[in-house]
Amino acid sequence: MASSNKTPTINDVARAAGVSKKTVSRVINRSALLKQDTRKKVEAVIAELGYVPNPQARALALRRNFLLGLLHDNPNAQTVLNFQEGVLDAIRDTEFALVVRPVDRHSPKMLEDIRHFLEQQRLYGVLILPPISENDELAALCREMGCGYVRMGSAPLDDEEHIVASNDREMVESAVDYLVESGHRRIGIIKGPEGFRSALERSEGFMAAMRKHGLAVPAELVAQGTYRFESGLDAAGQLLDREQRPTAIFCSNDEMAAGALHAARQRKVSVPADLSIIGFDDSPIAAHIWPPLTTVGWPIREMAKAAALKLVAPADERAQDYIFPARLVQRQSVAPPPDKF
Amino acid sequence: MASSNKTPTINDVARAAGVSKKTVSRVINRSALLKQDTRKKVEAVIAELGYVPNPQARALALRRNFLLGLLHDNPNAQTVLNFQEGVLDAIRDTEFALVVRPVDRHSPKMLEDIRHFLEQQRLYGVLILPPISENDELAALCREMGCGYVRMGSAPLDDEEHIVASNDREMVESAVDYLVESGHRRIGIIKGPEGFRSALERSEGFMAAMRKHGLAVPAELVAQGTYRFESGLDAAGQLLDREQRPTAIFCSNDEMAAGALHAARQRKVSVPADLSIIGFDDSPIAAHIWPPLTTVGWPIREMAKAAALKLVAPADERAQDYIFPARLVQRQSVAPPPDKF
DNA sequence: ACGAGATAGGAAACCGGTGTCAAAGTGTAT
DNA sequence: ATACACTTTGACACCGGTTTCCTATCTCGT
């Protein structure tokens, strides 16, 4: 009963089982070269003592730890949280844990801060969420420091082992297809902020789709947003105040779509009767506003899971995927355009 | 140049500086008994080599690591994320990191899972978010395992060193005061789910406030919700379909308030002209629905910061607070009741 | 100049695991 | 019975820090 009050170590197990530390270590690590008898005996002692290996000691001896990092400056809380859950799906029942690190994209010291963080924590690998995932210097930093990394993005902007991406471009196309099928011809767009790859993908996807249908996109149907609610309000306001306003607006994310809905309401423009609105992301807000928003959703959780697996089990077949299909979520913000058009 | 490609260790520093490991260790740990010269010399070498102490080795030697855990099953993503940022505010520039762990409140194995997690990761301490923060068995588990913990709650349900709490009860009272001042007498409530301490605090606060104003709360003005959007839709539907419907509804959280707004719209009941609605939490959705929701917000980020400090720097004066005042956020979902009432 | 007490710094053990390599055990063919 | 190959196990060093304990040096009062 000498050490009944402190957690048992590998030595305690070895002594109690009458074997060497190394043998216990072999049992823990499921080494193949062990007699069944010995394994059983040691396992019994482990269970009896309630022994759990010390991760710090393991990390030291193995010269690598079991910590994954999540680097993000994503403004959408639900996205971040879904991603966290997806990562947890992948590492549940392993010894890995997830460390979070929000970063400030606007800070000039951002890269330096991250370098410091990586040096200090010596993570096994990091997962990087957009928009900072688009920063190539950051990826270079990870490579330089020998830290595994996987970037999440709207397009394949790195090798497939380092990326999980949605096919935003195609999905915007199908959103536009849907609007056109519903009878719309005069379709406006609220773009995302410059410098965001996703914003670029979405607006280019939009332009390409419109071109495909032989529809013009005059400058007066294009408004610039910042991915934030208020910017959607402003941008939709501009669009709706044009001489000839659009019958449908594609918003590059749901927050801005919510703002656009708001702008329409202020102007007594009824959605979807007078104006159709389509968003992007399928964030929770999309289902909780009126009318419920038709939008494009992507499988964040699956992407997160695959991203984590790329780091912790790169050979796993589930870690091979790197392009994930988004899908159109039809709700009630799209209808055929009013007759007069 | 023997080891120019791998990260330097304390031994490398000691050798390069011509001192012993222990002296380097003293420099790192700011030990007082060191000559200035020696310190300077070692610091120069550390800077030159870019030496950063290995946290795993430190953790092993010190028998404690520098990892804080965040246990949550909170359905509100923004709350969780704000909390994470608050914790990061507190531990930025320290060697601590934050490990997240969403848990499943409904799983019968929840406690066992958490025990396993704590055993395996040997965290320095955990921060627990509502609603599982209300689980006393979980707190007991932390104590049993010698793991520091701080619970976040709607009422002081533990010693002050283990809790950060908002004063929901009082805040609901001021929300009701506000409704009464606006002229409302017939006020309904959508309660949160049973078993949630916050739901209890809020509904009791509501009852107490009504009593204070000499107003009755007949059963027909009370509806049960689950904190989810859909339940707000249903519950508000019931309330609005009564013979004599309320002129105002207090919703125990914003999601349900959004649902209530939705229910009102379906019935062509105009908010706030015909019906006032007040929510709780000041979640982002509150500002992004129409009309913008009057609600009660609490300072999550400050609470998170204080909670983290309680673990990592219990002596810090900022770690002493444990009750945090919420405040009424007035937007546009409350107006005087219609004349006919 | 000298001894006492304070101060600076080092040697070696330790934290709890893993890797290496050789020794011991086992089984089979000769 | 012996040699040989193969399996199973253990001794010991090591990962990179901290702690304990001890010695060498430095002040300082007398």
Give the angle subtended at the CA of A74 by the CAs of A68 and A76, to the nearest 5°.
115
Which class would CATH give A62-167+300-326?
Answer: alpha beta
pLDDT digits (tens, 9 = 90+) for B90-116: 999 899 999 999 999 889 999 999 999
Chain B residue with CA closest to A144: the answer is B5
pLDDT digits (tens, 9 = 90+) for A6-25: 789 999 999 999 999 999 99
CATH assignment, A10-53:
1.10.260.40
Q: At what angle do helices B197-212 and B168-181 cross, to 10 degrees?
A: 40
Chain B residue with CA closest to A53: the answer is B120
Task: Decide if B284 and A77 are in contact by the 8 Å CB cutoff.
Answer: yes
Domain coordinates of chain B in residue numbers? 10-53, 62-167+300-326, 168-298
CA distance A51 to chain B (A): 9
Tokens describing residue B208: 């107490």
Residue nearest to nucleotide C20 (CA to C1'): A22
Q: What is the pLDDT of residue A340?
A: 60
B168-298: which CATH number, 3.90.550.10, 3.30.420.40, 3.40.50.2300, 3.20.20.70? Answer: 3.40.50.2300
Q: Are strands B125-128 and B148-153 parallel, antiparallel or unpaired?
A: parallel
Task: Look up residue B271 and give its DSSP letter.
Answer: T
Q: What is the pLDDT of residue B2?
A: 39
B10: the nucleotide nearest its CA (via C1') is D16
Please tell me whether residue A82 adopts helix, strand or coil conformation: helix
Task: Decide if A120 and B95 are in contact by the 8 Å CB cutoff.
Answer: yes
Amino acid A259 reads G
Percent of the residues in chain B that have a pLDDT greater than 70, as a whole number: 98
Where on strand D do bases come within 7 A of a protein Cβ?
Answer: 7-20
Find all residues with CB under 8 Å of B119, minimum gap 6, and list them. A52, B145
Check CB contact of A67 with chain B, cutoff 8 Å.
Answer: yes
Mean pLDDT score of chain B: 92
Cα(A40)–Cα(A46) distance, integer angstroms: 10
Q: Which residues pair with B101 in a beta bridge?
A: B71
pLDDT digits (tens, 9 = 90+) for A86-139: 999 999 989 999 999 999 988 999 999 999 999 999 999 999 999 899 999 999
Check CB contact of B258 with chain A, cutoff 8 Å.
Answer: yes
Cα(A297)–Cα(A167) distance, integer angstroms: 11
Q: State, as a whole number of angstroms, the distance between the CA of B146 and the C1' of D15.
A: 27
Do B151 and B163 form a contact (C-beta atoms < 8 A)? yes
Q: What are phi and psi of A68, to 5 degrees?
A: -105, 145
Task: Decide if B55 and A265 are in contact by the 8 Å CB cutoff.
Answer: no
A168-299 topology per CATH: Rossmann fold (3.40.50)
Cα(A262)–Cα(B56) distance, integer angstroms: 52
Task: Look up residue B308 and give its DSSP letter.
Answer: H
Nearest to B281 by CA among B85, B82, B116, B1: B82
Q: What are phi and psi of B196, to 5 degrees?
A: -95, 125
Give the angle subtended at the CA of B266 by the CAs of B260 and B271, to the nearest 5°.
55
Nearest to A95 by CA among A59, A148, A147, A70: A59
Q: What are phi and psi of A283, to 5 degrees?
A: -80, 165
Helix H or strand E encompassing B71: strand B67-72
Please tell me whether residue A233 adopts helix, strand or coil conformation: helix
Query: Can A10-53 and A62-167+300-326 be said to share one CATH topology?
Result: no
